[in-house]
């Protein structure tokens, strides 16, 4: 039997807080940790099937046009130019490119062919020596060079913002720029495809297997049932593996053609070229307030870019409508159609750059109004969602601001600069953290064996986030088993389809389905015990009800199986779901060189139930580190002549390294969200990013009086 739940309303059952095993929420180490540190967790490129051939993607060296001729490749087994590969190669996040034919180039660096050889070296050599002839086209590659589109569904306004600005006691009107970002996951994209008759198995680095299977079947023109995807371990995704990419499609096509397994791995540079980027943004923020700092007007006009015909556009203003209250509001979302690499979801799409910029503007308004930045935010928190009037499912922004201010020692901050220590100027800054929350349909199967061992199966992925561990803890809690008695199997499309990992929805969505599957098993045990399921206590392999106690091995004949199926329902539309928090930073700015050192950084977050305090904390540490990167170092620069990514390896694309990141502090506020299924947990992965960079940028201003509005705040912009 499948336990199915459509989330149509609140769930106030708090029994997970009172279960006997007491393992959920514990800061356990990752279950697969030993496999990872000993090299036994095999990533996509690490399988070695017999007779493996190697494919190398050939990339366009013009920004647009047609491929006229691909020359010979001596030493190669095949040169494959295939429409199916290119269609996905052009468009990250598995969006179809309407224009793409096998010979159509839409951006410089796009995959146009695959060269296959017996060794990776031979394939690389042959690919590099291909003589490709193009009929190049002149196309725009800079956002300012085109008249942008204004998708009607993305514009919003209420009241009269211009009037509110003109009559405001205090206002801010400024423009910020953020550069393109690369996802920069540690594991470069790779795939190995192997056919068995008309069935194909593909091992690849992917985040969302069930939708990836549908995309891959579509790309290859085969039925999904003929396709198995395997991604048991994924070395980070950050959005770049949400959809299928060129390497996996190319591997499948080549393996079929050559009738042998084929591996296609991207180089680090290819990852930057071919996996989608986060769009650069131009953001004009207008804020108007009364003398008491109550907002009267909010304007957020953004310009992002993507390829012609691509559906995705960076949702920069996603949190703007509901973060603060104001009667007069205007959102303008414009998209420049240009020929840089495809733009898609990267690490908290939208809020990562939108909240960061907006929170810098709030800091400017606080200064202009002569009101403490924390106080300014507290005065503008809405009771219900502005415009729609929907209630929030849970909302701890005020508590996160107050708690953070106290913990961080905010009262020591001086509005006009902290203090000088020799050549270093010290300052403090803060920002609101906010990110939309989503729940996605998810299924799981759990089997409880007579020997008191449980097996969890779902096609959910663990992209380094801790999924194996939290699902093991959850099943252990529900079934009364120590975690080492639970085996979690993930990353295989033969298992029930899950939400996958994306948009911070993975833990809550897949967790709820495991909860439901375990509940199904608990009902079967309760029946055998002759009690109602809520009266059943399971602990360390024993079942208790009233004064009856029996071991699971006595109760179970063979095994019990439970299936869970979670579906988001009406609740999604009736409440505003979001996660909240606050960011705090202390920086030192070098008076002579403009160098910024982050000295202290702290985040306070509310995300509903915390499933494992250690993996949850690690998510926040990673997010805050990305916040430092957005503020100080990260920029994918494009060549203004042809749009190609110039900074496209980890030497040129600067993510913060250990020396850039001080000991970060993370605190969680206790929270249960009743509107997100029985687990009462919300997403967390991306919240730590959203606004973190603003705390750093605001601290820079507090230290030295400089507002950097063209990110990142490299030393040349500060001295």
Residue nearest ligand MOS, CB atom distance? 239
Determine which residue in the list 31, 242, 664, 718 makes contact with ligand MOS, applying CB under 6 A.
242
- Supply the minimum distance, in Å, between the C-beta of residue 621 and ligand MOS: 17
From the centroid of its chain, how far is CA 368? 34
Tell me which stretch binds ligand MOS (CB under 6 A): 343-351, 376-384, 630-638, 708-716. 343-351
Residues 6+ apart with CB under 8 A from 282: 143, 175, 176, 177, 302, 303
Q: Using CB under 6 A, pick the residue from 140, 243, 464, 503 that binds ligand MOS.
A: 503
The piece of 212-220, 236-244, 426-434, 632-640 that touches ligand MOS (CB under 6 A) is 236-244
C-beta of 502: minimal distance to ligand MOS in Å?
4
In the set 32, 634, 671, 686, the catalytic residue is 686
* Residue 70 to residue 191: CA distance in whole angstroms: 24
Q: Is 347 in the site for ligand MOS (CB under 6 A)?
A: yes
Residue 326 binding ligand MOS, by CB under 6 A: no
Q: Does 629 contact ligand MOS by CB under 6 A?
A: no
Verify binding: residue 237, ligand MOS, rule CB under 6 A: yes
Q: Restricting to residues 186-225, which ones interact with ligand MOS according to CB under 6 A?
A: 207
Residue 384 or 441 having the CB closest to ligand MOS: 441
Of 92 and 404, which has the nearer Cβ to ligand MOS?
Answer: 92
298's tokens: 């909010």
Q: Is 243 in the site for ligand MOS (CB under 6 A)?
A: no
Q: Is 595 exposed, middle or buried (0-12, 13-18, 19+ CB in 10 A)?
A: middle
User: What is d(CA 161, CA 556) in angstroms, rounded to the nearest whole number?
Assistant: 67
Two structure tokens written together for 230: 């395997």
Site for ligand MOS in 101-160 (CB under 6 A): none
Tokens of 540: 């360390």
Instruction: Name which of 112, 436, 142, 107 is nearest 276 in CA terms.
Output: 107
Query: Binding to ligand MOS (CB under 6 A): which residues in 665-694?
Result: none
686 in active site: yes
Least spacing, CB of residue 569 vs ligand MOS, in Å: 22
Q: Does 454 bind ligand MOS (CB under 6 A)?
A: no
- Residue 437 interacts with ligand MOS (CB under 6 A): yes or no: no
Contact with ligand MOS (CB under 6 A) among 299, 349, 656, 678 = 349
Positions 18 through 57 that interact with ligand MOS (CB under 6 A): none
- Out of 140, 239, 491, 500, the only residue in the binding site for ligand MOS (CB under 6 A) is 239
Nearer to ligand MOS, 239 or 466 (CB): 239
Distance CA 127, CA 72 (A): 10
In the numeric block, the tokens 């699902």 are attached to: 471
Of 424 and 605, the one with the shorter C-beta distance to ligand MOS is: 605
At a CB cut-off of 8 Å and minimum separation 6, what does 329 contact? 156, 157, 158, 159, 161, 297, 298, 299, 321, 386, 387
Closest distance to ligand MOS from the beta carbon of 503 (Å)? 4
Number of residues forming the site for ligand MOS (CB under 6 A) = 11
Which of left, alpha, beta for 473 (phi over 0: left; psi -120 to 50: alpha)?
alpha
For 265, 267, 456, 645, the CA distances from 518, given in Å and listed in that order, are 39, 42, 9, 48
Select from 711, 584, 718, 687 the least CA-distant residue to 278. Answer: 711
Report, in this order, helix, strand and coil percent for the chain, each rounded to 5: 30, 30, 45
State which residue, 176 or 238, has the beta carbon closest to ligand MOS: 238
444 makes contact with ligand MOS (CB under 6 A): no
| Three-state SS letters, 291-302 | CCCCEEEEEEEE
User: At closest approach, how far in Å is the CB of 506 from ligand MOS?
Assistant: 9
Helix (H) or strand (E) holding 126: helix 120-128
Please list, in sequence order, all residues whose beta carbon lies within 8 angstroms of the beta carbon of residue 100, skipping any fewer than 6 positions away: 83, 86, 87, 90, 91, 106
- Near ligand MOS by CB under 6 A: residue from 11, 180, 345, 615: 345
346 near ligand MOS, judged by CB under 6 A: yes
- 161, 293 Cβ separation under 8 angstroms: no
In the complex with ligand MOS, the residue whose CB is nearer, 92 or 427, is 92
Nearest Cα to 212, choosing from 19, 460, 13?
460
CB of 597 to ligand MOS, least distance (A): 28
- Residue whose pair of structure tokens reads 């999604």 in the numeric block: 572
Region from 238-246, 529-537, 645-653, 675-683 binding ligand MOS, contact rule CB under 6 A:
238-246
Residues labelled catalytic: 686
* Residues engaged in binding ligand MOS (CB under 6 A): 207, 237-239, 242, 345-347, 349, 502-503
């Amino acid at each position: 039997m499948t336990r199915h739940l459509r989330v149509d309303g609140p769930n106030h059952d708090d029994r997970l807080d009172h279960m006997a095993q007491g393992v959920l929420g514990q800061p356990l180490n990752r279950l697969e940790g030993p496999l990872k540190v000993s090299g036994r967790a095999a990533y996509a490129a690490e399988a070695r099937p017999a007779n493996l051939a190697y494919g190398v993607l050939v990339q366009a060296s013009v920004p647009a046009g047609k491929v006229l001729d691909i020359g010979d490749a001596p030493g190669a087994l095949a040169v494959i130019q295939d429409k199916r590969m290119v269609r996905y190669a052009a468009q990250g996040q598995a969006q179809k490119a309407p224009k793409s034919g096998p010979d159509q180039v839409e951006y410089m660096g796009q995959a146009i062919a695959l060269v296959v050889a017996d060794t990776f070296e031979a394939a690389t050599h042959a690919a590099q020596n291909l003589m490709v002839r193009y009929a190049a086209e002149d196309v725009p590659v800079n956002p300012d060079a085109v008249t942008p589109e204004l998708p009607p569904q993305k514009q919003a306004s209420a009241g009269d913002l211009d009037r509110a600005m003109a009559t405001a006691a205090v206002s801010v009107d400024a423009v910020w720029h953020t550069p393109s970002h690369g996802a920069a996951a540690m594991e470069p994209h790779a795939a190995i495809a192997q056919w068995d008759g008309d069935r194909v198995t593909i091992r690849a680095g992917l985040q969302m297997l069930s939708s990836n299977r549908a995309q891959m079947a579509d790309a290859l023109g085969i039925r999904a049932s003929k396709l198995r995807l395997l991604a048991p371990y994924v070395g980070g995704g950050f959005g770049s593996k949400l959809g299928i990419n060129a390497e996996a499609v190319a591997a499948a096509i080549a393996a079929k053609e050559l009738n042998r397994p084929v591996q296609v791995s991207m180089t680090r540079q290819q990852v930057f070229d071919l996996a989608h980027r986060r769009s650069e943004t131009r953001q004009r923020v207008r804020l108007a307030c009364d003398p008491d700092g109550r907002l009267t007007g909010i304007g957020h006009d953004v310009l992002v870019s993507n390829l012609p015909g691509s559906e995705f556009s960076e949702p920069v203003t996603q949190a703007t409508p509901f973060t603060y209250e104001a009667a007069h509001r205007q959102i303008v979302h414009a998209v420049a159609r240009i020929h840089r690499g495809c733009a898609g979801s990267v690490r908290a799409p939208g809020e990562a750059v939108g909240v960061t910029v907006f929170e810098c503007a709030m800091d400017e308004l606080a200064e202009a109004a002569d009101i403490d930045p924390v106080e300014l935010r507290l005065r503008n928190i809405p009771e219900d969602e502005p415009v729609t009037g929907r209630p929030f499912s849970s909302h701890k922004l005020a508590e996160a601001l107050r708690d953070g201010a106290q913990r961080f020692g905010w009262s020591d901050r001086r509005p006009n600069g902290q203090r000088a220590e020799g050549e270093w100027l010290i300052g403090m800054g803060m920002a609101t953290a906010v990110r939309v929350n989503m729940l996605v349909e998810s299924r799981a199967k759990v089997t409880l064996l007579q020997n008191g061992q449980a097996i969890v199966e779902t096609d959910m992925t663990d992209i380094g986030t801790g999924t194996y561990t939290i699902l093991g803890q959850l099943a252990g809690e529900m079934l009364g088993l120590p975690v080492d008695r639970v085996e979690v199997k993930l990353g295989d499309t033969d298992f029930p389809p899950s939400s996958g990992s994306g948009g911070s929805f993975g833990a809550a969505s897949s967790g709820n389905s495991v909860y439901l599957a375990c509940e199904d098993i608990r009902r079967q045990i309760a029946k055998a015990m002759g009690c109602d399921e809520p009266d059943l206590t399971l602990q360390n392999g024993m079942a208790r009800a009233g004064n009856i106690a029996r071991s699971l091995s006595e109760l179970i004949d063979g095994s019990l199986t439970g299936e869970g199926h979670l579906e988001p329902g009406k609740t999604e539309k009736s409440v505003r779901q979001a996660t909240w928090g606050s960011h705090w930073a202390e920086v030192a700015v070098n008076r002579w060189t403009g160098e910024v050192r982050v000295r202290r950084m702290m985040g306070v977050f509310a995300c509903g139930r915390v499933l494992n305090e250690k993996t949850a904390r690690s998510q926040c540490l990673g997010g805050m580190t990305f916040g430092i990167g957005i503020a100080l170092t990260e920029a994918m620069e494009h060549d203004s002549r042809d749009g190609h990514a110039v900074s496209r390896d980890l030497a040129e694309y600067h993510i913060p390294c250990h020396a850039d990141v001080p000991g970060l502090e993370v605190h969680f506020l206790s929270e249960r969200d009743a509107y997100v299924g029985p687990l009462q947990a919300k997403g967390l992965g991306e919240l730590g990013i959203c606004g973190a960079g603003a705390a750093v940028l605001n601290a820079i201003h507090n230290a030295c009086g400089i507002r950097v509005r063209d990110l990142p705040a490299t030393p040349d912009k500060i001295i």
